[in-house]
């Protein structure tokens, strides 16, 4: 008897001896294994026991139809019968055809037998067990559920014996349901790979439903044997559906294989020690909170995480397809590797226990975080949401080859390394206290301005370049507290000023390659390599820090080495200044200490700054100083001490000795002379003012600046600058001028002159013509002379016309005079813009004006008409060559009078005159800019214009036209008040009041004619003339600087001769209203003005 504890019993008898035996068949999967062994050994079931186990044994004697009773020993199974398919001689197909409903209590499939359910249904009350044989080498059993087949069972075991077994769910509406509804049964399980290796295949739209909370189990541990269970989805075709609370790996050799072409979602929680492989082109989406610990391998297609879906417990993730975490609530993996793509979307991917290389692409707006281990990225990554490196973790970009990059910023608490053999540019920003390494044999160019605070290492053979010719590119930030260990090459290539407070050590090379300035204020005395200044300026030390730099330094042509720190490493080290290179001690006044030797090559330069109190830049050398015909360049900078007395300055000391001499001492200054004297261990410089030959010691400063003046305005300005007092702001301006070249000085004289104040008078005197024009035009219109610009009257009380007007009207009935009224009001708008060309003394003067005039007048003494005028206008003007501009608000009151006398029926004599006074409120701005001085100056001041004019014209009627030759004479007096400019330097002027008297004579000819277009009457009119200016045609402005004598400069001259041109037409809108437009131009030598007037008038 076989005794199985806790089992139900069954009586069986052998086929050969007709003897009986009792077998207790336990409800667990092991009972089926042993019961099967007993049956296969020749023991047949007996139903005579108290606990019978009725069986039907498949013999397949007729065909493969389940529903044919001749195929069964014991009859067709029903819900109380154990259907046993286990005879190796009957290992044929058992089919449940379409429309067939089959039942069984239990189903066992062994010995190469295969059960196919297609288009029908099988309902098993208890358990289906596949391949339960305990005998090694027995054929496997299998079950296939095809399209339309439905199988329902309470429990299911695949490969429950020592051999392999398989279960396939394939096809549309192929459904397997495992209820797992026996919670008190320890074998209430759905197991694939119970003792032998089992496979569960799902594809082409099949469905697997697992009831309850028990899992679908893959693999099993039975004694010392670990069986493998495989869930294979798709097998290169379509996927299916799994509805299970959990899928559990019992053994680490068990796995899920996904190989399909469509999309599938597994919402089950995947647990245990097995692994997952994604093949095919389709997309597998995991939404469960998975905890399985085996590897995750994506060989093709996409593995996506969505919602709470995760694979964070998976020991490693190999991505050769696509890993998409964009829809996951959180994303965490271990040890990323592969060549595929990681799609972040906006998510952040946490990588733990990193130990591999990922050569694919990580994309998206999200970022990554390395929490532990070393992650190598050797692909071209495009994610932008940042990379985080935890303390103790390491992120390497590249693996020593020519690939591997990131574009995102990095927050570094561990180690960030770049390891490539070629040139790469990284524009991101690195922050955090972690360390930074450049390990590859190539060049890394950093163009982001990083503020990390960890140490930096540059390996032997590696190159790190900060900046790429622009204003960004840095590692460590300007307040970097750490050290750059440089055993390779460190290059600075920036166009702006960069201050570096960190320290260098190592034996590599430092190169200043950019056009900007690199200021070193840290202690880098431990650096034992070479430094080359190829371009721009390197400063070692300033007021922010003493600054120390060890090793050897070479300064190439066009580059500068300066500062007030310490350079060199003692005996054997040297500072070498090549031809065209410059050593500029100090930073302002200061001392540079060279701990070694100094070699100044032929054509090399030593630059020093000197102050008026005798202090100067000094180069102090502990070794020898060798001068091979080099140049000494001198700059005077002291704003508070006068240079008018000669001074002697020590510029070079050498403890071991000085050999050789400078070829000369030079400066861009046009106003200083220099001399040199040599001692065994030093070089001294003597200066004096360059006063045109005066012996040193007896300077003549009052003839200094004007020696280089090239124009009368420059000469006048320079003469005043020569008189600046030698103290305060005046001395500061004086000393700034001392260091200018002749060309720079002439430019500064023009900038300082205040020429625009004189030119303003030219503008406002010229623009006074618009007031005269308004009065003159009104008088022409009032007496019916429509040949000039009409100004419509507004009649109030009509009165009889005077005889003179009647005579003119009779002579020219087509253009009658406007009826005389006792009172009239009128309006006039104008606008113009112009330019006066500059000359060698003044700059181009551009101006514009716009305004409106109105007035009232009355008829008196029969033939006279007198009136008053009010006008407002705004003038703007600028002299771009002098960086000066201003505007004026103009307010005018005036009076005018005119008369007309008839000479004949077709002729009349016209007299017109007027007087006006204008108040000007002027605002001015000037920018002063030359080497050493910048200032923005402003002023507000008042001025006035008084003018009077008279005109005589002879009017003639010819057919439908009026002709009038005329002569005009005007006098203008312009007066400006005195004022002072507001500014920060002594360049601010104190400007005197000034009066300018100018007269204008004009000879011209006017004409108008009437014509009709259709039924619309038009009047076309024109005017040509010649205007001549005399008197004060070149305005003058007198001013002084703070602490200087007065000087006078001239402005842009008023053009002496102008050709005048006017053309326009009028259109009446009705009996009371009309519109008109005209063009006005003035053309002279070096001067032009254009204006457009648009008028609308209405009478009532």
Give the per-residue pLDDT at 227: 93
pLDDT at position 454 over 70 = yes
Q: Which long-range contacts (CB under 8 A, 24 or more apart) does 401-405 make?
A: 402/442, 403/359, 403/378, 403/379, 404/359, 404/376, 404/377, 404/378, 404/379, 404/380, 405/377, 405/379, 405/380, 405/381
pLDDT of residue 785: 43
Identify the CA nearest to 889 among candidates 919, 869, 867. 919
Distance CA 795, CA 823 (A): 6
Which residue is it, tokens 């969505």?
Answer: 306
- Average pLDDT of the chain? 87
For residue 93, the model assigns a pLDDT of 67
Strands 1016-1031 and 994-1013: antiparallel
Model pLDDT, residue 1100: 47
Bigger pLDDT: 376 or 731? 376
CB 559 within 8 A of CB 514: no
- Parallel, antiparallel or unpaired: strands 845-860 and 864-879: antiparallel
The CB density around residue 26, as the number of other CB atoms within 10 Å, is 20
What is the band of 53 on the pLDDT scale with cuts at 50, 70, 90?
A: low
Distance CA 540, CA 691 (A): 37
Exposed, middle or buried: residue 570 (CB in 10 Å: 0-12, 13-18, 19+)? Answer: exposed
With bands split at pLDDT 50, 70 and 90, how would you rate the model's confidence at 789? very low
Of 391, 239, 230, 243, give the one whose Cα is nearest residue 302: 239
pLDDT tens digits for range 986-1024: 999 999 999 999 999 999 999 989 888 888 888 898 999
Does the pLDDT of residue 400 top 60, yes or no?
yes
Residue 20 and residue 37: Cα distance in Å, rounded?
16
Q: How do beta strands 582-585 and 647-654 pair?
A: unpaired
Q: How many CB atoms lie within 10 A of CB 83?
A: 27
Q: Which residues does residue 260 pair with via DSSP β-bridges, in sequence order?
A: 237
- The CA-atom distances, in angstroms, between 1049 and each of 473, 694, 1055 are 50, 29, 18
Q: How far apart, in whole angstroms, are the C-alpha atoms of residue 95 and residue 970?
A: 126
Evaluate if residue 985 carries a pLDDT over 80: yes
For the stretch 516-569, pLDDT in tens is 999 999 999 999 999 999 999 999 998 777 899 999 999 999 999 999 999 999
What is the pLDDT, as a whole number, of residue 477?
A: 77
Whole-Å CA distances, 892 to 780, 825, 877, 944, 1035: 21, 17, 19, 10, 22
Quick check: 824 and 857 in contact, CB under 8 A?
A: yes
379 closest CA partner among 396, 402, 361, 399: 361
pLDDT at 442: 97
Q: Are the C-beta atoms of residues 1051 and 1033 closer than 8 Å to each other?
A: no
Element (H, E) at 677: strand 672-679
- Cα separation, 776 vs 951, in Å, equals 8
Phi, psi (deg, nearest 5) at residue 855 = -160, 170
Over residues 177-198, mean pLDDT: 90
Q: What are the pLDDT digits (tens) for 463-500?
A: 999 999 999 999 987 778 889 999 999 999 999 999 98
CA 155 → CA 180, 188, 950, distances in Å? 6, 6, 124
Separation of alpha carbons 499 and 543, rounded Å: 12
pLDDT at residue 1096 in the model: 63
What is the SS3 assignment for 776? helix
pLDDT (tens digit, 9 = 90+) per residue, 820-872?
A: 567 888 888 999 999 988 888 999 999 999 999 999 999 998 889 999 999 99
Mean pLDDT value of segment 161-189: 90
Closest CA relative to residue 360, chosen from 333, 343, 379, 387: 379
pLDDT at 229: 96
DSSP E strands in 378-458: the ranges are 387-389, 394-397, 410-412, 415-418, 423-426, 430-431, 435-438, 443-446, 456-458
Give yes or no for a contact between 374 and 355, defined as CB atoms under 8 angstroms apart.
Answer: yes
pTM of the complete model: 0.68
Q: Helix, strand, or coil here: 707?
A: helix
Q: Is the pLDDT of residue 1077 over 90?
A: no
Mean pLDDT of 905-930: 96
Three-state DSSP state, 186: coil
Which residue from 35, 38, 179, 169 is spatially nearest to 115, judged by alpha carbons? Answer: 169
Task: Provide the phi-psi class of 340: left if phi over 0, else alpha when psi is between -120 and 50, else beta.
Answer: beta
Q: How confident is the model at residue 640 (pLDDT cuts 50, 70, 90)?
A: low
Work out the average pLDDT over 963-990. 96
**How confident is the model at residue 35, as a pLDDT?**
40
β-pairing, 341-343 vs 990-991, is: unpaired
- Flag the least confident range among 206-210, 704-708, 820-824, 857-861: 820-824
With a pLDDT cut of 90, the percent of the chain lying above it is: 67
Q: Where are the domains of the chain?
A: 83-260, 752-1098
Please state the separation of Cα 398 from the chain's center in Å: 27
730 or 396, greater pLDDT: 396
Q: What is the mean pLDDT of residues 298-319?
A: 97
| CATH architecture group of domain 752-1098 | Beta Barrel (2.40)
Tell me the CA end-to-end span of the chain in Å, nearest whole number.
Answer: 137
3-state SS track over 317-366:
EEECCEEEEEEECCEEEECEEECCEEECCCCEEEEECECCEECCEEECCC
Backbone angles phi, psi at 121, to 5 degrees: -140, 150
What's the burial of 558, exposed, middle or buried (CB within 10 Å: 0-12/13-18/19+)? middle
**Cα(187)–Cα(299) distance, integer angstroms:** 36
């Amino acid at each position: 008897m076989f005794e199985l504890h806790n089992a139900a019993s069954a009586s069986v008898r052998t086929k050969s001896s007709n003897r009986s035996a009792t077998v207790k068949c336990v409800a667990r999967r092991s009972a089926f294994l042993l019961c099967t062994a007993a049956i296969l050994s020749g023991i047949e079931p007996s139903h005579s026991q108290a606990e019978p186990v009725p069986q039907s044994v498949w013999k397949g004697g007729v065909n493969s139809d389940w529903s044919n009773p001749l195929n069964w020993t014991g009859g067709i199974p029903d819900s109380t019968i154990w259907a046993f398919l286990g005879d190796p001689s009957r290992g044929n197909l058992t089919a449940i055809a379409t429309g067939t409903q089959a039942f069984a209590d239990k189903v066992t499939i062994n010995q190469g037998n295969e059960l196919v359910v297609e288009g029908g249904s099988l309902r098993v009350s208890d358990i289906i067990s596949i391949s339960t044989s305990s005998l090694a080498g027995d054929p496997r059993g299998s079950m296939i559920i095809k399209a339309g087949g439905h199988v329902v069972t309470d429990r299911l075991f695949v490969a429950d014996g020592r051999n392999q077994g398989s279960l396939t769910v394939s096809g549309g509406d192929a459904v397997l349901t495992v209820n797992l509804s026996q919670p008190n049964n320890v074998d209430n399980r759905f197991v694939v790979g119970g003792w032998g290796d089992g496979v569960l295949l799902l594809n082409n739209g099949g469905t697997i439903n697992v009831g309850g909370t028990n899992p679908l189990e893959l693999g099993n541990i039975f004694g010392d044997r670990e069986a493998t269970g495989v869930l294979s989805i798709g097998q290169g075709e379509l996927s299916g559906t799994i509805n299970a609370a959990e899928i559990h790996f019992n053994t680490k050799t068990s796995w899920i294989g996904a190989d399909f072409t469509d999309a599938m979602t597994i919402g089950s929680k995947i647990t245990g020690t097995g692994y997952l492989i994604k093949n095919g082109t389709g997309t597998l989406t995991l939404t469960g909170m998975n905890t399985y610990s085996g590897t995750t391998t994506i060989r093709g297609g996409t593995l996506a995480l969505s919602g709470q879906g995760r694979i964070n417990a998976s020991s490693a993730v190999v991505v050769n397809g696509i890993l998409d975490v964009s829809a996951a609530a959180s994303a965490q993996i271990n040890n990323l590797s592969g060549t595929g793509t990681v799609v972040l979307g906006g998510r952040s991917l946490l990588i733990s226990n990193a130990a591999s290389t990922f050569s694919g692409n990580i994309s998206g707006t999200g970022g990554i975080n390395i929490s532990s281990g070393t992650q190598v990225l050797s692909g071209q990554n495009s994610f932008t949401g940042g990379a985080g490196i935890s303390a103790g973790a390491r992120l390497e970009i590249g693996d020593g080859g020519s690939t591997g990059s990131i574009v995102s910023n990095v927050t570094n608490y561990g180690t960030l390394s770049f390891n490539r053999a070629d040139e790469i540019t990284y524009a991101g920003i690195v922050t955090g206290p972690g360390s930074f390494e450049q390990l590859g044999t190539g060049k890394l160019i950093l163009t982001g301005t990083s503020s990390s605070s960890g140490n930096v290492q540059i390996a032997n053979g590696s190159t790190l370049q900060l900046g790429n010719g622009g204003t960004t590119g840095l590692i460590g930030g300007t307040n970097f507290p750490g050290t750059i260990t440089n055993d390779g090459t460190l290059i600075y290539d920036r166009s702006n000023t960069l201050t570096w407070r960190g320290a260098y050590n190592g034996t590599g090379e430092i190169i200043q390659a950019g056009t900007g300035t690199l200021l070193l204020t840290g202690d880098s005395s431990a650096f034992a390599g070479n430094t080359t200044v190829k371009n721009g300026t390197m400063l070692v030390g300033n007021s922010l820090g003493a600054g120390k730099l060890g090793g050897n330094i070479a300064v190439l042509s066009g580059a500068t080495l300066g500062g007030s720190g310490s350079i060199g490493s003692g005996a054997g080290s040297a500072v070498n200044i090549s031809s065209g290179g410059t050593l500029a001690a100090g930073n302002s006044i200061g001392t540079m200490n060279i701990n070694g030797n100094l070699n100044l090559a032929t054509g090399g330069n030593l630059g020093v700054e000197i102050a008026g109190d005798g202090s100067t830049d000094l180069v102090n050398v502990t070794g020898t100083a060798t001068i091979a015909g080099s140049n000494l360049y001198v700059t005077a900078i002291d704003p508070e001490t006068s240079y008018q007395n000669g001074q002697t300055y020590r510029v070079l000391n050498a403890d071991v000795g000085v050999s050789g001499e400078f070829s000369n001492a030079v400066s861009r200054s046009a106003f200083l002379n220099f001399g040199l004297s040599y001692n065994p261990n030093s070089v001294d410089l003597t200066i004096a003012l360059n006063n045109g030959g005066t012996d040193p010691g007896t300077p003549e400063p009052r003839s200094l600046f004007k020696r280089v003046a090239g124009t009368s305005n420059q000469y006048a300005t320079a003469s005043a600058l020569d008189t600046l007092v030698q103290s305060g702001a005046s001395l500061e301006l004086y000393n700034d001028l001392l260091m200018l070249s002749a060309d720079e000085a002439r430019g500064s004289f023009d900038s300082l002159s205040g020429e625009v104040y004189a030119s303003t008078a030219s503008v406002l005197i010229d623009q006074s013509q618009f007031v005269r024009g308004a009065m003159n035009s009104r008088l022409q219109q009032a007496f019916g002379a429509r040949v000039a610009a009409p100004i419509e009257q507004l009649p109030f009380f009509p009165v009889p016309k005077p005889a003179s007007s009647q005579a003119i009207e009779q002579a020219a009935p087509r253009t009658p005079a406007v009826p005389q009224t006792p009172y009239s009001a009128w309006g006039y708008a104008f606008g113009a813009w112009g330019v006066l060309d500059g000359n060698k003394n003044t700059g181009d003067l551009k101006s514009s004006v716009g305004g409106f005039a109105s007035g009232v007048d009355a008829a008196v003494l029969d033939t006279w008409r007198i009136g008053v005028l009010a006008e407002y206008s705004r003038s703007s003007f600028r002299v771009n060559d002098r960086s000066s501009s201003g505007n004026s608000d103009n307010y005018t009151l005036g009076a005018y009078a005119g008369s007309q006398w008839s000479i004949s029926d077709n002729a009349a004599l016209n007299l017109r005159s007027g007087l006006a006074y204008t108040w000007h409120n002027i605002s001015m701005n000037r920018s002063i800019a030359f080497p050493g001085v910048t200032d923005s100056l402003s002023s507000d001041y008042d001025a006035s214009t008084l003018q009077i004019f008279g005109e005589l014209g002879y009017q003639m009627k010819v057919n439908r036209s009026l002709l009038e030759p005329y002569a005009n004479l005007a006098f203008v007096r312009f007066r400006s008040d005195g004022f002072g400019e507001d500014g920060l330097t002594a360049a601010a002027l104190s400007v005197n009041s000034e009066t300018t008297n100018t007269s204008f004579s004009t000879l011209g000819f006017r004409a108008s004619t009437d014509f009709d277009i259709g039924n619309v009457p038009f009047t076309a009119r024109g005017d040509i003339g010649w205007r001549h200016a005399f008197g004060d045609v070149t305005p003058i402005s007198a001013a002084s600087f703070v602490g200087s004598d007065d000087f006078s400069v001239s402005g842009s001259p008023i053009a002496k001769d102008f050709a005048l041109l006017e053309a326009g037409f009028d259109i009446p809108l009705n009996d009371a209203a009309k519109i008109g437009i005209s063009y006005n131009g003035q053309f002279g030598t070096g001067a032009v003005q254009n204006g457009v007037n648009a008028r609308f008038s209405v009478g009532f």
